[in-house]
């Protein structure tokens, strides 16, 4: 039985900030970011947008464009690392908004849950839903990935920011891609990137040594949660390489393959925190699995790294990147990091590239190398189905990205610091955050949304 993605939709922030402008403001050579990392733009959330808005917009578009009967949907599972509630899942927000728009109680029998494991949470949700369809082949489910990637100003992650969501209909006999039943995993508990609760002594805020109530906080320490992560970029890159390498060779064992697995893949889709991350990380796998290239176990770390650099600069590897990795990079350059949605936007970018250039890919294998900090990698593959083009007619990925509005540096920093008082663009034909409750004691912090025609 074939199971996979039958339809896919997306929503990203409609305003962006130029990487060239950011680079100049931060005294970075623009070419280092543009040609070195493949970055051109980063999408920025407007005042009315948050992860619920992006997820709801992508899900609404999926439902409308593909005329989905919501009474047939058994699950709506979400991958995210941008939740703003430690109890109420993002998926419960989406259920409420879909019923607000498409009919009360229409999803009352639909199961919902969030999957959280950094950037790989969406892949975990996908795998879980595929297993569900194996047992219940007549059922249909939806996987949504939604995130806002935000980093501290002037940090090394600042230029990789992005915001948006994807929604995917998962069914038997899918139109777009059917996934094979080999999933390899590599997991290790590390601190390469995480979003901890942080504390600050109350006295540093109040200036009073007595532990008096402060906005109903009775504790002597105030707990703070920030959207921005704690991370070590170089260490995270190494964890990325280690996990994907281990998962890749575990995948090769699962397939009982003695051949170079990546050669059988028409395209390779990887988690892309920045557009060229995949090509920079994959050179090790490319070297180790190639039949005509070997790296001796007697080499020093320095010799090993130098050989990888030589390989990554070779014409053969550049051609390999252009053929198998480049299509997935196009959208990433124009959007930025989507965390859990990054790998699926890579898939959509690849499909849109082949669709727009009128290339036929029916029956070809796509390889997926997913990664989530903390850390875990999963490697799997899928086969493009005969009707993939029919599911792409309403996507318009690159046309949508071309219509994004560029903001200036002052607006960017005001949005980042939450000093902006009005929306950059008036919301239209989309969901918007209407208000956050601040007065009713039993609803403090409740978020309310509405559809804007």
CATH number where 444 lies = 3.40.47.10
Domain assignment present for 316: no
Domain assignment present for 81: yes
Domain assignment present for 216: no
CA separation for the pair 152, 161 (Å, rounded) = 10
The pLDDT of residue 294 is 45
47, 316, 448 from 79: Cα distances, Å: 23, 36, 21
The pLDDT of residue 292 is 44
Domain assignment present for 300: no
The pLDDT of residue 312 is 83
71, 96, 381, 412, 413 from 105: Cα distances, Å: 10, 9, 37, 40, 41
Tens digits of pLDDT across the chain (453 residues)? 999 999 999 999 999 999 999 999 999 999 999 999 999 999 999 999 999 999 999 999 999 999 999 999 999 999 999 999 999 999 999 999 999 999 999 999 999 999 999 999 999 999 999 999 999 999 999 999 999 999 999 999 999 999 999 999 999 999 999 999 999 999 999 999 999 999 999 999 999 888 989 988 999 999 998 999 999 999 999 999 999 999 999 999 999 998 899 999 999 999 999 999 999 999 999 989 975 444 455 566 666 677 778 888 899 999 999 999 999 999 999 999 999 999 999 999 999 999 999 999 999 999 999 999 999 999 999 999 999 999 999 999 999 999 999 999 999 999 999 999 999 999 999 999 999 999 999 999 999 999 999
What are the residues whose beta carbons fall under 8 Å from the beta carbon of 33, sequence distance 6 or more?
A: 19, 22, 23, 39, 159
Six token digits for residue 48: 């009315």
> What is the model's pTM?
0.96
Residue in 136, 134, 113, 137 with CA at minimum distance from that of residue 125: 113
SS (H, E, C) 97-143: HHHHHHCCCCCCCCEEEEECECECHHHHHHHHHHHHHHHCCCCEEEE
CA separation for the pair 445, 441 (Å, rounded) = 9
Distance of CA 247 to the CA centre of its chain: 19
CA separation for the pair 214, 395 (Å, rounded) = 49
Q: What is the CA radius of gyration of the chain?
A: 22
Domain assignment present for 234: yes
Strand partners, 432: 450
58, 126, 253, 328, 396 from 352: Cα distances, Å: 17, 21, 32, 9, 8
When divided into structural domains, the chain yields a total of 1
Domain, as residue range, for 423: 3-193+227-282+325-452
Domain assignment present for 214: no
Domain assignment present for 50: yes
Q: What is the dihedral of CA 396, 4, 83, 51, to 10 degrees?
A: 10
Domain assignment present for 291: no
């Amino acid at each position: 039985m074939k199971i996979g993605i039958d339809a896919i939709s997306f929503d990203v922030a409609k305003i962006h900030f130029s990487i060239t402008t950011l680079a100049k403001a931060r005294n970075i050579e623009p070419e280092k970011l543009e040609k070195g990392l493949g970055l051109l733009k980063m999408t920025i959330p407007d005042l009315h947008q948050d992860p619920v808005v992006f997820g709801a917009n992508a899900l609404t578009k999926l439902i409308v464009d593909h005329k989905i009967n919501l009474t047939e949907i058994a699950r709506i599972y979400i991958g995210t690392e941008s939740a703003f509630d430690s109890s109420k899942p993002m998926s419960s927000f989406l259920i409420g908004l879909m019923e607000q728009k498409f009919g009360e109680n229409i999803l009352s029998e639909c199961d919902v849950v969030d999957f959280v494991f950094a950037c790989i949470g969406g892949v975990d949700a996908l795998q879980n839903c595929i297993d569900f369809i194996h047992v219940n082949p007549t059922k249909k489910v939806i996987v949504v990935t939604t995130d806002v990637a935000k980093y501290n100003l002037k940090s090394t992650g600042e230029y990789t920011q992005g915001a948006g969501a994807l929604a995917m209909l998962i069914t038997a006999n899918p139109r777009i891609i059917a996934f094979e039943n080999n999933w390899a995993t590599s997991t290790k508990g590390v601190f390469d990137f995480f979003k901890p609760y942080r504390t600050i002594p109350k006295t540093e805020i109040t200036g009073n040594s007595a532990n008096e109530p402060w906005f109903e906080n009775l504790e002597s320490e105030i707990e703070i949660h920030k959207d921005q992560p704690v991370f070590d970029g170089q260490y995270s890159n190494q964890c990325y390489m280690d996990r994907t390498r281990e998962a890749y060779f575990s995948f090769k064992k699962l397939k009982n393959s003695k051949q170079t697995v990546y050669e059988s893949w028409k395209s390779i889709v990887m988690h892309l925190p920045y557009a060229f991350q995949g090509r920079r990380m994959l050179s090790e796998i490319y070297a180790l699995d190639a039949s005509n290239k070997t790296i001796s176990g007697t080499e020093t770390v320095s010799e090993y790294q130098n050989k990888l650099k030589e390989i990554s600069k070779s014409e053969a590897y550049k051609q390999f990147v252009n053929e198998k990795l480049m299509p997935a990079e196009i959208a990433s350059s124009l959007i930025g990091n989507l965390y859990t949605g990054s790998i699926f936007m890579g898939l959509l970018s690849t499909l849109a590239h082949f669709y727009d250039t009128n290339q036929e890919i029916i029956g070809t294998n796509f390889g997926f190398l997913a990664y989530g900090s903390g850390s875990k990698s999963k490697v799997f593959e899928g086969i493009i189905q005969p009707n993939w083009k029919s599911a792409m007619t309403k996507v318009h990925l690159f046309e949508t990205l071309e219509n994004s509005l560029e903001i200036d540096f002052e607006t960017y920093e005001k949005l980042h610091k939450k000093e902006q008082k009005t929306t950059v663009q008036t919301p239209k034909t989309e969901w918007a955050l209407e208000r956050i409750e601040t007065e009713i004691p039993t609803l403090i912090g409740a978020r309310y949304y509405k559809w804007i025609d």
